[in-house]
Amino acid sequence: MKTRALFVTIVLCFVASAESTNFVDSVKKLVGGDDSSGAAGKSTQTGSRSATTQESVVDDNVCVYKWSSLSCEPTASCSLQYEFGDMTPSQACRVSGSSDSARMPQQLHLAFAGEEAGTGMAISWTTFVLEKDPTVWIGTSEANVAKAKGAKIETKSYYKDEDYELYSYHAVVNGLKANTKYFYKVGSASTTKFQTSVSSFTTARAAGDESPFTVAVYGDMGADDNSVATNKYVNSLVDEVDFVYHLGDISYADNAFL
């Protein structure tokens, strides 16, 4: 394993400056990688930016080495950063510290709010770079969302280390109707590319509403593959339940799990 890792290190050094097509083809055969292989099973570096909710967010698993350009793509977000154990160039492609993806909203969370049941929703998200104009857009149709009037947005920083500082934004939107589906997005008011795609939620039912409902109850997200399986199963129930009641142990605010 050590011998092969050393060999791959040397190969990666040559790959960055190789010009000969024959040489590149030979290297591809030796490392057994192509434009897409190697991303699976990638060893994610500590503090890497992980995506949880938006397709536009770039994380280490999205970064792929392209032999045609001899670089990691997308180039605006990824770069070659070899770590011991990487077996292919794609595995060595990771999110750059200066990447725009650090400004993309991530880890979106929703919680019922409002003085009366069903009249408000708390929307939270995070970024790895401080957003100066965090904003929430909301509406009753996916194609027509507007800035939420009177939404109070609080910015907090709960975690910081040598690699990054994580910023959290908490917005409370009031004046909503009970048991109603709303569409929303969050992000930078001034820069469209730092806004999420449009998602949706349904407000709580009004107090005294005795109509039947279905709730999913679970706790402890688990770690790594277990948490992925948990999320996948709960997401498969999205059209069958009215809301989810999580019992706790939902996140791990340290480098091992972010």
Assign 230 to helix, strand or coil: helix
- Pairing relationship of beta strands 71-73 and 64-66 according to DSSP bridges: antiparallel
Please compute the mean of the pLDDT values over residues 15-38 and round it to a whole number.
49
**pLDDT (0 to 100) of residue 8:** 42
Q: Which pLDDT band, with edges at 50, 70 and 90, does 133 fall under?
A: very high
The alpha carbon torsion through 80, 84, 86, 90 (nearest 10 deg) reads -10
Cβ(46)–Cβ(163) below 8 Å: yes
Which residue carries 């000969």 as its tokens?
Answer: 20
Looking at residue 94, its pLDDT comes to 81
Region of 123 (left: φ > 0; alpha: ψ -120 to 50; beta: rest) is beta
Tokens linked to 232: 């996948």
Say what the pLDDT of residue 195 is: 92
Percent helix, strand, coil in the chain, to 5, is 20, 30, 50
List, in sequence order, the alpha helices (H) in 101-197: none
Alpha carbons 108 and 185: distance in angstroms, whole number: 10
pLDDT digits (tens, 9 = 90+) for 59-97: 677 889 998 888 898 887 788 888 777 888 888 888 776
Pairing mode, strands 144-147 and 64-66? unpaired
* pLDDT class of 135 with cuts at 50, 70, 90: very high
Residue 128 · residue 170 · CB < 8 Å:
no
Report pLDDT digits (tens) over 189-247. Answer: 999 989 999 999 999 999 999 999 999 888 877 766 777 788 788 889 888 988 788 88
Q: What pLDDT, on a 0 to 100 scale, did the predictor assign at position 244?
A: 80
pLDDT band per the 50, 70, 90 thresholds, residue 160:
confident
| The pair of three-digit structure tokens given for residue 176, joined into one six-digit string | 């909503």
On the question of pLDDT at 37 being above 60, the answer is no
Q: CATH number of 104-208: 2.60.40.380, 1.10.3720.10, 3.30.1330.10, 3.30.450.20?
A: 2.60.40.380
Q: Where are the domains of the chain?
A: 60-99, 104-208, 214-257
Q: pTM score > 0.75 for this model?
A: no
Provide the CA 15 distance to its chain's centre, in angstroms. 30
Arithmetic mean of pLDDT, 22-40: 50
Name the residue with higher pLDDT: 251 or 125. 125
Question: What is the structure's pLDDT at 224?
Answer: 67
Q: Among 95-99, 153-157, 175-179, where is mean pLDDT lowest?
A: 95-99
How far is the CA of 149 from the CAs of 14, 134, 170, 174, 204, in angstroms?
Answer: 55, 13, 15, 9, 20
Mean pLDDT for 95-111 is 80
The whole-number pLDDT of residue 97 equals 62
Integer-rounded Cα Rg, in Å, for the chain is 22
| Residues 158, 155: Cα–Cα separation, whole Å | 10
pLDDT of residue 140: 95
